[in-house]
Structures are given as structure tokens and as C-alpha cells.
Amino acid sequence: MRILVLGAGGVGGYFGGRLAEKGADVTFLVRQQRKQQLNKDGLVVRSVAGDIKLQPKTITASDPDSAYDLVLFSTKAYHLQNAIQDLLPFVGEQTVILPLLNGVAHIPVLQEAFGADRVIGGLCFIETTLNREGHVLHSSPNHYVVFGEFGQKDTERIRSIEDVLSGTKTSFVRSNHIEMDIWHKYLFIATMAGVTTLMRSPMGPIWESGGDEFIRSVLREIESVMLAHGAPLDPDIVNKHMETMGKMSYEMKSSMQRDMEKGFPVEGEHLHGYLLRIAADHQMETPLLKAIYQNLKVYGVTTGKA
């Protein structure tokens, strides 16, 4: 199975690197500058789960190539439309798109661009970033992808994908309830990203200062919006997320917080803005979510990254 990884940043570089490490047929679709960097220095991953250094196969959007069997769609949400255009030449009748973006707003966009039958559900949990040398830094124990067919279907293609993704030094987990998994991740990351960016702090100091009740309140508020939208949530998901967050390392940061620290664009519109539009549709009051979103909007204005 030929696998195309969209991007070689923190997410694509890590999971694509793990697949290439085990010998899978992996190619990275990257910008020209990143291609030159990878061709010169190789793909370097510094990880608590074991380092990687290899010479990856790379292409750019203008390079001629045939269709791939599986695409790991690992771009940021604010690059979604450009990434779709870059990917179009490499998608054929049998190509399967596995998106690893946060949230849900991208799913119908990808389905419209490539066809609903070509898009499966996916998400990932990992804390990574790129350093100045373009190395992927992976600093926490979590590093896994969850994927599955929408509608809880068991298909030949999902079994084939499960087989090709197995046997790596990370975890690719097939799910029979991927819709629920995606919404659970959305609740988790919208809360964690919202709280850490609002307070400009890793999770440890927030928790230590008595902020756990504030975190729970944000979780509850976002949960209420999702339930009004009809999202399939575990009735005990807030308690489960609180338990997970309480066990995080003291210096754990959200990727959105790391992007803010670097002056990069953030996914506030894709994550929190989308939830606020749902809340408005249901005439719901969401003061915590509005505060989080306003903070991100101010960041966008002051940095020119709106």
C-alpha cells in the first residue's frame, strides 16, 4: 500500500516517520523548502519513545506522480483549502483519506472535495513540535492514531489499512465508533487549548493553582453545546477527561499554546468559533467559550495572524 503523508511537521513527520521506520512505503508531500531540508538532513525525530533518523521519499505539489492508496491528512485547519488543492493530483478512485485534524468542521469539506466514500474518520493524540533545525520533538508518552469507517462499518479496506498501519513503535488503533472518538477528542482539545492559551500556562500550574474547577466548568459548557448539536458523547466523558488532564505532566502544553508562543496562526476559528456558531444556533449562553475565543481573536489581531 502506497501511503502519502501530507506534510512533515510535528504530526505528519512523527507518524509518517514511524511508518517509514518499519518499512512501509511512505512518501511525504511537502513544500519546496521543507523538501530541500529533508533531502539534506533527513527526517529526524527526537522522541521519548525512541529516536528516528531516515532519508524519506518526498514530493511537492508540482511533482508528477500517480495516485496513492492512503493519505494521512495532517495539516493545520487554516491550511485546509490549500492542502486540498495540493493533494488533488495524487487522489484516485481507490484513494482513502485519513484526516488527523482536530475538531469536526473539516470533515464535510474533505468529503465534498474528494467524495464522502473516500474519507474515513481519524484523530491523533501527541505532543510534538518542530525545532529550528526542522527536527520533530516528541516529549510526552502519548503518541497514537485512532481511525475507522464512519457508520461503524467493517470493510475490507479498513482491515487492509489496519494491517498496513500495524507493527510500528507507535499505536494505530482501529475504532468501531470513530464518530464518538472524534467528538471526545474535540471536547478534550477545545478545553485544553482554550484554557492553556487563555492563561498562557502549561497544565501543571493551572491545576496546582486550583484551576481544576475552572477546567471542569469549561468542559461542561462545551459538552452542553455538543449535546445540543446531537454529538454522540459518553455520559461520563467530563469525569474521564478530568482524570486524564489531572495526570498530565506539569509542563504539558497544548499545540495551540505552542503555536501562539511562536507567533504562528491558531485554529481558534476551526475549534472554538465552530462551537460558538452551534451555540448561537441553539440560542445558548456560553460565557467561558466566548472568553476563550475572544482571547484568540485578540491574539490574531495583535500578531496579524487572524
Active-site residue numbers?
185
**Long-range residue pairs from 294-298, CB within 8 A, at least 24 positions apart, any chain:** 295/197, 295/198, 296/197, 296/266, 296/268, 296/272, 297/268
CB 194 within 8 A of CB 241: no
Kind of pairing between the strands at 25-29 and 2-6: parallel
Q: What share of the chain is helix, strand, coil (3-state, %, to 5)?
A: 50, 20, 25
Put residue 291 in one of left, alpha, beta given phi > 0 → left and psi -120 to 50 → alpha.
alpha
Phi, psi angles (nearest 5°) of residue 57: -80, 130
- Taking the C-alpha atoms of residue 2 and residue 235, their distance in angstroms, rounded to an integer, is 39
**How many residues would you count in the chain?**
306
Q: What is the dihedral of CA 218, 220, 222, 227, to 10 degrees?
A: 180
